[in-house]
Chain A
Amino acid sequence: LERAVLAQLEAVQSLRRYPLKNSDEPMTVTGRGPGECP
């Protein structure tokens, strides 16, 4: 579990270094953005 948590922490820290704008919307679980559902 400790290994898994550490690996996850490293991944999260790497993603936090990626620059995003306030307006960047997430993809959703449908693979599309909130405004793009059929």
Chain B
Amino acid sequence: VTDAEWAFCSVHELGRRLRAGEVTAVDLAGYFLDRLEKVALPLNAVAAITPGRALDEAALLDAELACGLDRGPLHGIPYGLKDIIAAPGVATTWGAAPFRDQVIDHESTVGERLRNAGAVLVGKLATVELAGGMGYEHPDASLTGAALNPWDTNTWTGGSSSGPAAATAAGAVPFSIGSDTGGSILMPAAWTGVTGLRATYGRVSRAGAMALCWSFDRLGPMCRSAEDCGLVLEAIAGPDPRDPSSLPEPYRYRGRPARRDDFRIGVLAGSFDGVQGEVRANFESAVASFREMGKVEEVELPDFPYAEVAEVIMAAEISAAFDEFLDAGGAAGLSDAKAHTHRLAATVLPARDYLRAQRIRRHMVVALDQVARPFDALIAPMLGTVATPATESFTGLLGIPYPQRANLASVTTGMPAISVPSGLGRGGLPTAVQLLGARLTENAVLDAACALEATTGRAGLLPSAFIPSVPDRHASPAGAGSGSQGRERQSSALAGEA
């Protein structure tokens, strides 16, 4: 076993090696700090690297382990934080030029909980400016430029959690924390072949994170597997007096399930209409896997104006959250032309129409819960296409109606959703499915995601140019910039294989 394999180890596997004495927390911190600099920085995935804090904390965690103090599965595991989340002693730029010097010198609740769980912050990761909330049409709408997709560096990662997606997919961090208002965890996870979880609204405190749209915003893990998402979620979930939206219910991950044949999966009717052929084939393959593991039924997504409700609520809340910034003309300092004026439209949005959207939303929550409750999960393709070029506007390319409709159903209703890799599509780029669950049923959704990963082996998909060669402990992406680099590769060290 060499450290070349660390890059793509699961949290579970890194923890096993740590406890077996094969590696120390300082080794891991040093290794991933190096990967961030040499691998993730050229992908425009990094906002800041935090070596001082990381190495100090890792040394302390090694000492604790030597004394028999084990903080649990995340003890000594490095991670990265999307740069809309504060961390003391380092800038929190929100990915936007007007905030490039902003320092929010306190720990976010998520950061505090991860620190208490023994995880080691190695860097802040790139984001689309203001998490894309002011509107954007180009992948380079970020202080750090367009985040490049490790599967093909001519393509984009998707946004707005672009840095967490790129860094996790490239093996530069074992896991990361992203944020999601309208799909910002799930969409980049899908395009980069990582597993991204948007837990039930209120599960994870947003204290210390940039507020974009209060009634939609969620933070969540982006990992190599559903099992890792569960481990991270357990560490960061739970009530928090600093976030009035946080739920009182505690959360405990029950671990990867034994093989089951009693899954109940609802296939959202017509969900592959208009998607690329490979996206559909991989989706149908995932559904076929579930047929082998239980009962699969077709269900209809209740008929609601999901996109319109999302649009009106986001317009009102985002423009209110940034009212001083907008009133002062701050949007003119953003890099994407769309962002200069897009949110000014809300100045002519009547309050009663915002409230109407919130009233319709209540009906959506009830109806969606009734549809989802009998199932472990509902399934649909995550996005209709593979990743799009990093240098072109993506307007019109993301709008495959049905997958976006399913995504917006879970965005607006606060139900949990996970993006799970489903295979490779056009150009050797990743495709994914989304699994949606009823409110507070993360464990059922994670079980289904774990089972799918174990059956299809899709958690083992890796971008080959970013796999370090065994003799070279500090390999860098040799083929970066040279087009499609993805291929299917399994490793015994991968999530789901340990």
Contact = CB atoms under 8 A, between A and B. Distances in A.
Nearest to B200: A31
Contacts of B359: 20, 24-27
Given A30-B244, A30-B245, A33-B362, A4 B353 contact: no
Contacts of B360: 15, 18, 20
Interface in A1-35: 1, 4-5, 7-8, 10-12, 14-16, 18, 20, 24-31, 33
Nearest to B218: A31
B349 A8 contact: yes
A18 B315 CA distance: 19
Contacts of B307: 11
Interface in B314-369: 315, 317, 341-346, 348-350, 353, 355-363, 365
Contact of B308 (A5, A11, A30): A11
B374 to A, nearest CB: 23
Contacts of B215: 27-31
A25 B353 contact: no
Contacts of A7: 311, 345
B214 interface: yes
Contacts of B363: 24
B314 to A, nearest CB: 10
Contacts of B362: 24-27, 33
Nearest to B248: A38
B201 interface: yes
Main secondary structure of the interface of B (DSSP, over half): helix
B309 A31 contact: no
A28 to B, nearest CB: 7
Interface size class of A (residues with CB under 8 A): 20 to 34
Contact of A15 (B135, B356, B365, B414): B356
Nearest to B358: A26
A31 B414 contact: yes
A26 B317 CA distance: 14
Contact of B357 (A4, A15, A33): A15
A7 B317 CA distance: 17
Q: Taking each of A12, A14, A26, A31, which has the highest tally of chain B beta carbons within 10 Å of its own beta carbon?
A: A31
A8 B315 contact: yes
19 contacts: A1-B345, A4-B135, A4-B345, A5-B348, A8-B346, A8-B348, A12-B308, A12-B350, A16-B353, A18-B304, A18-B360, A26-B358, A26-B362, A27-B365, A28-B215, A30-B202, A30-B245, A31-B202, A33-B362
Given A5-B348, A30-B245, 17 more contacts: A4-B344, A5-B345, A7-B311, A8-B311, A8-B312, A8-B315, A8-B345, A11-B305, A11-B312, A15-B309, A16-B353, A27-B215, A27-B358, A29-B215, A30-B214, A31-B202, A31-B215
Interface of A: 1, 4-5, 7-8, 10-12, 14-16, 18, 20, 24-31, 33, 37-38
